[in-house]
């Protein structure tokens, strides 16, 4: 039973990690290299993340600098950024690219907050699905005679406690990101 609870905690923890990664990729007005993580460059026929082709650094509060290790990919990286959903055109000098993030408008901030809430809700649903699956598994174990009625009740309580803990963590991450977006 302890192994099952450990797996439940790992699955819920992975969902939190996934959510944190999603939030890191949301552009909140400040330059953050994570916004480029989902952009792939067609490098010799292979979709490759920008951070594997270049050094990405924050030079100022709202400016990212991309320095490709191979100068021949500058145009490829530029095209990939232009065709992405970032909505920003990079500036290039032939060797490096600069991305300047404009300040966010109030409407755009509200849209981003809505997106943050939706991602948080999706994570809560995923965590509740893990809970449901595990409670079903415990009930099957009870039916097969592997655990007693008391063990079942105890497992359900521990599963609910884990669920509550991770739901609070999702709320905390969501609230933090919303404040970050609205404060800028």
Range of the domain at 132: 2-24+105-183
Q: Which of 100, 116, 149 is the last residue of a domain?
A: 100
**In this model, does residue 31 exceed pLDDT 80?**
no
State the pLDDT at residue 29: 64
Strand partners, 58: 64
Residues 75-134 pLDDT 10s: 988 988 888 877 788 888 888 999 888 777 888 888 889 999 999 999 999 999 999 999
Q: Are residues 116 and 172 in the same domain?
A: yes
Here the CATH number for the domain that contains residue 173 is 1.10.132.20
Distance CA 179, CA 161 (A): 27
Q: Which of 71, 100, 129 is the last residue of a domain?
A: 100
Strands 91-92 and 54-60: unpaired
**In this model, does residue 36 exceed pLDDT 90?**
no
Distance CA 67, CA 95 (A): 7
Q: Are residues 40 and 76 in the same domain?
A: yes
- Pick 31 or 80 by higher pLDDT: 80
Residue 116 near residue 178 (C-beta atoms within 8 A):
yes
Instruction: Kindly state the percentage of the chain with pLDDT values over 90.
Output: 42
Distance CA 96, CA 73 (A): 10
Q: Which of 100, 122, 154 is the last residue of a domain?
A: 100
Distance CA 16, CA 22 (A): 10
Q: Which residue has the tokens 């000098």?
A: 93
Domains contained in the chain, number: 2
Distance CA 132, CA 162 (A): 12
Q: Are residues 71 and 94 in the same domain?
A: yes
- Cβ neighbours of 172 (radius 10 Å): 12
Any idea what the Cα angle at residue 49 is, between residues 48 and 51, rounded to 5°? Answer: 130
Distance CA 166, CA 115 (A): 20
Residue 15 near residue 127 (C-beta atoms within 8 A):
yes
The closest alpha carbon to 99, from 61, 64, 56, belongs to 64
Q: What is the pTM of this model?
A: 0.72
**In this model, does residue 16 exceed pLDDT 80?**
yes
**What token pair was written down for 49?**
């993340």
């Amino acid at each position: 039973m302890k192994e099952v609870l450990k797996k439940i905690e790992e699955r819920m923890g992975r969902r939190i990690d996934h959510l944190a990664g999603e939030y890191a990729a949301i552009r909140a007005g400040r330059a953050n290299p994570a916004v480029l993580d989902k952009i792939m460059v067609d490098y010799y026929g292979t979709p490759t993340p920008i951070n594997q082709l270049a050094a990405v650094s924050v030079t100022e509060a709202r400016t990212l600098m991309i320095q490709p290790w191979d100068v021949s990919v500058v145009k490829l990286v530029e095209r990939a950024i232009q065709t992405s959903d970032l909505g920003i055109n990079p500036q290039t000098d032939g060797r490096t690219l600069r991305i300047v993030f404009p300040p966010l408008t109030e409407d755009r901030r509200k849209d981003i907050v809505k997106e943050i809430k939706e991602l948080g809700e999706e994570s809560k649903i995923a965590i509740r699905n893990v809970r449901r699956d595990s409670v079903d598994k415990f009930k099957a174990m009870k039916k097969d005679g592997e655990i007693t009625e008391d063990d079942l009740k105890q497992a359900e309580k521990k599963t609910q406690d884990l669920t509550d803990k991770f739901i609070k963590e999702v709320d905390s991450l969501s609230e933090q990101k919303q404040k970050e977006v609205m404060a800028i």
